[in-house]
Amino acid sequence: MRILVSTLLLLLALSAPAYADPEPMPAGTDADYQLGGAADLPDHVGIVVRDRTAAPAPGRYNVCYVNGFQTQPDERGFWRRHRDLLLTDARGRLVADEAWGEWLLDIRTPQRRERLARIVGRWVAGCARDGFDAVEYDNLDSFSRSHGLLRPRHAQRFARLLTSIAHEHDLAAAQKNWAGWDGTRAGFDLAIAEECGRYDECGRYTDAYGDQVLVVEYRVRDFERTCAGFDDQLPVVLRDRAVTPGGVRRWC
């Protein structure tokens, strides 16, 4: 019996897919955040984040932006066809992130999480085919805008599905915001921290990820404060909130 069990374990190990360790972000270089459209990169920028519909930048470490927990405003037609996967309140109204006009995904049940993961997984596969190195899953903290309908545990469980999908495609997975939670527990490899200087959260990310943190600030005083405290550790970029190609771009 012992020999049989050992043989079965060996066969399972041999049949399991082998995933390469995701490539980490390079050290000693600056980063740019280009969700509103691609722009030329100066030589000192070795890391760039772009939308999944954009092409990666040759010769850089490329992070693919995917809205993993909410919808994109320009994809309402697609999501209306999948309305049963969107979060609704007690009156059947869609729950939205009013600041950005994005509907929240309903990640409360395993069945919905699995169906949503298949949709997001197709986007991630596209990122990998296009040549990106990592994927950023935005709006991990959508539960904080759900009027209590979503719980942190729902986000954590869905995050585990999404990081597994990234790793299946040999992509690193980036935690986006929610500084109070150590996303490495769900398999995240790096973090993209918006305004961590403004909210005094940068240290929480470095505690979890070390130098695998990219910081985006939107106000000059926050940018200068973050540079003063973390310039020797992290890439920090000042951007305009619309992250447009011709908008504000400054580095420490």
- Distance between CA atoms of 146 and 133, rounded to whole angstroms? 31
Q: Which fold has domain 29-251?
A: TIM Barrel (3.20.20)
Angle of the 152-168 helix axis to the 110-130 helix axis, nearest 10 = 40
**How confident is the model at residue 19, as a pLDDT?**
54
Domain ranges of the chain: 29-251
**Mean pLDDT, residues 190-218 taken together:** 97
Structure tokens at 203: 């240290």
Provide the residue type at 130 as one letter.
Answer: D
**How confident is the model at residue 98, as a pLDDT?**
85
103-156 residue pLDDT tens: 999 999 999 999 999 999 999 999 999 999 999 999 999 999 999 999 999 999
CB-based contact 108:84 (threshold 8 Å) = no
- Distance between CA atoms of 161 and 187, rounded to whole angstroms? 9
- Distance between CA atoms of 39 and 9, rounded to whole angstroms? 51
**How confident is the model at residue 6, as a pLDDT?**
37
69-86 residue pLDDT tens: 999 998 999 999 999 999
**Mean pLDDT, residues 159-170 taken together:** 98
pTM of the model as a whole: 0.90
